[in-house]
Chains A and B, each alone.
Chain A
Amino acid sequence: MKFPRLVMLASVLGIAWATIGAASPEGEATTPSAEAPVATAQLRRLTEAQYRNSIADIFGGDIKVAGRFEPDLRVDGLLAAGASTVSVTPGGLEQYEALARMVAEQVVDAGHRQKLVGCGPDPADPDGRQCARAFFERVGLRLYRRPLGPSELALAMANSARAQKLLGGDYYAGLGAGLSGLLSGIEFIFQIDNDVADPSRPGHRTLDGWSRASRLSYLLWNTAPDEELLAAARSGALMTDAGLAAQADRLIASPRFLVGARALFDDYLRFDDLATVSKDASIYPGFRADAIVAAREQALRGLVDLLIVGRGDFRDMLTSRRMPMNGMLSPLYRTPVAEQGWSVVEYPAGDPRGGILTQIAFLAGHSHPGRSSPTLRGKAVLEILMCEEVPAPPANVNFTVVQDVSNPKYQTTRQRLEAHLSDEECASCHKRMDPIGLALENFDGAGQYRRTENGVVIDARGQVDKVKFNGAIELGQVLHDNPKVPACFAATTLRYSLGRRLVPADGPLLEAMKSRFTAANYRVPDLIRAIVTSPAYYSADLARPTGQRLVRARRAGGQL
């Protein structure tokens, strides 16, 4: 089978989005009811990682997924929340179609078809229709996280047959074209919530078992549901408290939960922003090209080890002296490592390193290319750790005095910021951000320790919520003891789990999760389990604009 032929064929047939016009699986319309409460569905576009993980799990890790994805959108601090607000641009649609063709071509090629298709035309099935049906039923279940509806299945088979004919009778090329259509479908690219009447709460709507399986799997493993989870959805077990808890416990106990937790921490700390971090080599020569990649990995490894594997107190991430370390980072930390690969170092009491705020991912990630930034660091602490909003600076701010590091009148960053604060318009926000960030001034813009700046001993005193402290270690302890920090994380985790902004109706669930987090001694797995086993998490009573979007999309043939 030649790739260009498949490309051409898919374009000619318009296969890619053909499935979108199909009915929902059980024929139940997903149209908002006129009766209150309104039952609606939510769409969440798969992240790049979720897309890749899904393909690898369904077809195998050797299936290449090479291409660009639509950029994600951060909403309310989370890309996960943005996933329910994004659409697909025409350019993005072409990318998804190209990816679909690429994956489909590999699945049906000579090297994979025996394992991944497993059948073909034979004397008992001369035109291969039974084989095609079995293939699309099996693969469709995994891709759409629910059984294909009759019209979806019929369409896939019809598309395959047409493609086979157009491609000179190549049976597997036909299957590939049909599969490409499924992979391009909105039902694969988006997690789509389908709701049903809540059997335990008359008059209310709740997510059906298939949607629950998707939520559980993409939250806990960051990938598509496995066979066992889909079986639990099919049997109705996920619609019961006991069945839900059993599957949640199974997924959390699996090593694959580490993958899901990493994705949560990555989004929580906004580490995707690190991809654009670069440093001035002449100022920070030790900050090599891959340093920021390693720094991100260091932070995520440390969090997963402390909070998931070790089931540690969430707040200890702000004070922990243990840090993963490798040869890319150790020179920046001025720390010896036995191996160039990853190992763990433990800094002794009295050392200036301790907690995630003293790691390079945070320090360098919230700095400028050639200098530190107490303002950016303070802003990050307020927004990420304390869920406090910091307004954007006015458009006409004069940053000259802050940016001029060679001005002999102001030798330290603190002095430059204090001079900048003479501008009253700026002062109100800087007074919240800077006292936090100045406590981290013993670390330069690359995250390297420094005792002095331009020969002047650094003053690292700071203040958070009227609590005064000195230096990064004390800042970590102050934040560790500040109840806003775990409460913020509980709210962030709930937003991440729901994949949207919180609305007033989420209030009871949020308060319940905060209490459960505190009662669980701030164990992250317990917080996540509390969320996914809460009936409120699956409520479909909220009216969401995405439901209207879905209906419009389906009516328009898939255009979002």
Chain B
Amino acid sequence: MGPTATQLGLVALAAAGAAVTATGNHGETRSFIIGPMYMPSVEVDATSCPTKPKGALAVFRDSLPPDQQAQLGASKDPRAAVALMIKQFGFKRGPDDDTLTRANFAERALAAGLPPGKGAISSYPRRHVAYDLCTNPADFPALAAGHQEYLGKIGYGMNLDGKVGRHDLIGVDGEKGVDNAWYQAVGCANIARSTGDPKVGDNVIVSRQAPTLLEVTGIDDPVNDDSVEVNVYAAARPLDLDATGKTLAWASYRPVPDRAFFGHAKGRIEGGVLITEPFDVTLRMHESIIDSNRELKAARINATLRPDGTLDGGFYGYQTLASLEDAYAQTSTIGIEMLSCPAEVLALRKHADGYPDPRTHRNTAISVALRFKAVPAFVVHDGAPGGKVASK
């Protein structure tokens, strides 16, 4: 048999109730793994979303001469329209290539005949180089037609800049000055309105291949504590699901060693609500069809520690446009019936409200709200000082 848990340097990280390992004056530690994480949507109406944004394919169809529309209209199969769109706009796609990386992208893109300096890595259904409306949305402004921004006043989020601006939202809890320009840019889109509904989104697991770990240390009082520390990691292995398909509680995860995916913040607990100071963190977003990141600047966590040991709340901060656009690029043409990459990306650029580029003065990040639900977990650190295994 192998060494004991103590010899392995395991740290029993506690979560709810009795499942706590006391660490003297340093308080207890509670750890969590995030399952669902998404942009939450409020219920929209004719005032907040007067029209329904069209997917790129519908925009393209509408742009065609009547005879071509009639020709395509007879068929419900979108493939003919997609083929025509690809031909007309000159989209390019390289062969499936599992060895494709950012390092060899330029070479592979050249070989695949992509326009110089254009294109991106796309992941669906296999990795390949691509040049299309999602990799380079600005090249296809015609497909951005008919976009509908969110005109409502209510939205999820936090007041990130401490100001109450004319365009700011009112939080669902009544907070004024809520900054969530991302929602204002694309909140009427089909995907935002469907999977953004908390009744749906709270049950949709994201980034299963590389879920996010939260570790709250130094908890002296889980209800009111004026000083705790919060660590954020990307897990080194996929998320475990329980027998009902939801996030499995109390599983053990190692963080990835890459410090790029580590975030640390000071925080406090007020009335059972964990609130951190702003900190920068990059969250992994890795699914079977997407391998991207969420780069958050000045992010805060505001989340409730539940009696059942779970944690739910959100990350609120500024996500870089670069990381957002990378995610769009990877979707390639998957969702062209549901969304228009040019419309959404151009809207995001328009609404970007943080971190201006010193040279261009254009904002490089946009305020966001990312709702999450987390369950208790163990974070296993290499070489951490050994603690006792607790099973309670």
Contact = CB atoms under 8 A, between A and B. Distances in A.
Contacts of B390: 334-335, 348, 351
Contacts of B391: 333-335, 347, 351-353, 449
A331 interface: yes
Nearest to B19: A334
A348 B389 contact: yes
A408 B4 CA distance: 43
A214 B19 CA distance: 51
Nearest to A338: B8
B12 interface: yes
Contact of B11 (A322, A336, A347, A353): A336
Interface stretch (B194-202, B237-245, B292-300): B237-245
Interface residues of B, number: 34
A343 interface: yes
B135 to A, nearest CB: 36
Interface stretch (A172-180, A260-268, A284-292, A498-506): A284-292
A502 B2 CA distance: 39
Given A305-B1, A343-B3, A344-B1, A338 B242 contact: no
A451 to B, nearest CB: 6
Contacts of A309: 1
A344 B252 contact: no
Nearest to A330: B252
A100 to B, nearest CB: 39
A14 to B, nearest CB: 50
Interface string B231-262: 00000010010111010111110100000000
A285 B252 contact: no
Given A335-B12, A351-B390, A344 B2 contact: yes
A347 B8 CA distance: 14
Interface string A314-349: 000000001011010011111111101011111110
A226 to B, nearest CB: 27
A345 B4 contact: yes
Interface string B373-390: 000001010000000111
Given A285-B244, A285-B246, A451-B18, A334 B392 contact: yes
A346 B237 CA distance: 25
B51 to A, nearest CB: 42
Interface in A209-268: none
A338 B13 CA distance: 12
B31 to A, nearest CB: 9
A478 B13 CA distance: 32
Contact residues of B: prevailing secondary structure: loop
B63 interface: no
Interface string A114-134: 000000000000000000000
Contacts of A345: 4-5, 10, 389
B308 to A, nearest CB: 12
Nearest to B251: A331
Interface in A271-300: 279, 281-282, 284-289
Contact of A282 (B3, B18, B244, B248): B244
Contacts of B12: 335-336
Interface string B349-392: 00000000000000000000000000000101000000011111
A343 B8 contact: yes
A344 B3 contact: yes
A331 B244 contact: no
Interface in A381-415: none
A190 B158 CA distance: 75
Given A286-B248, A286-B250, A347-B389, A336 B243 contact: no
Interface in B1-60: 1-6, 8-13, 17-19
B206 to A, nearest CB: 19
A301 interface: yes
A287 B246 CA distance: 12
Interface in B257-312: none
A324 B250 CA distance: 17
B391 to A, nearest CB: 5
Given A305-B1, A334-B391, A335-B391, A281 B243 contact: yes
Nearest to B31: A336
Given A309-B1, A345-B389, A352-B392, A336 B248 contact: no
A316 to B, nearest CB: 14
A285 B375 CA distance: 13
A448 to B, nearest CB: 9
Nearest to B237: A340
A332 B240 CA distance: 13
Best-buried of B2, B8, B243 by chain A (most CB within 10 Å): B243
A336 B10 CA distance: 7
A454 to B, nearest CB: 15
Contacts of B388: 348
A289 B6 CA distance: 29
A306 to B, nearest CB: 9
Contact of B380 (A324, A336, A346): A336
B250 A330 contact: yes
A236 B94 CA distance: 75
Contacts of B17: 451
A346 B390 CA distance: 9
A337 B379 CA distance: 9
Nearest to A282: B244
A325 B6 CA distance: 13
Given A330-B250, A344-B2, A337 B243 contact: no
Contacts of B242: 281, 285-286, 288
Best-buried of A324, A334, A348 by chain B (most CB within 10 Å): A334
Contacts of B244: 281-282, 285
Contacts of A352: 391-392
B392 A327 contact: no
Contacts of B392: 334, 351-352, 449, 451
B243 A331 contact: no
Contacts of B1: 301, 305, 309, 322, 324, 344
Nearest to A348: B388
A289 to B, nearest CB: 7
Contacts of A324: 1
B248 A331 contact: yes
Nearest to A289: B243
Best-buried of B10, B250, B251, B391 by chain A (most CB within 10 Å): B391
A139 to B, nearest CB: 38
Contact of A337 (B9, B13, B380): B380
Contacts of A337: 5, 10, 252, 378, 380
A183 to B, nearest CB: 38
Nearest to B11: A336
B252 to A, nearest CB: 5
A292 to B, nearest CB: 12
Given A327-B240, A333-B391, A351-B390, A338 B250 contact: no
Contacts of A351: 389-392
Contacts of B380: 336-338
A293 B5 CA distance: 22
A346 B19 CA distance: 16
B249 A286 contact: yes
Contacts of B2: 342-344
By Cβ-Cβ distance, the 10 closest A-B pairs, closest first, are: A336-B378, A281-B243, A331-B250, A285-B242, A345-B5, A346-B4, A338-B8, A305-B1, A348-B388, A353-B391
Interface of A: 279, 281-282, 284-289, 301, 305, 309, 322, 324-325, 327, 330-338, 340, 342-348, 351-353, 449, 451
19 contacts: A285-B243, A285-B244, A288-B243, A327-B251, A330-B252, A331-B251, A335-B378, A336-B10, A337-B252, A338-B9, A340-B237, A342-B2, A343-B3, A343-B8, A344-B1, A346-B4, A348-B388, A353-B391, A451-B392
Given A335-B389, A344-B3, 11 more contacts: A279-B243, A285-B242, A286-B243, A327-B251, A335-B378, A336-B380, A337-B378, A337-B380, A343-B5, A346-B5, A351-B391
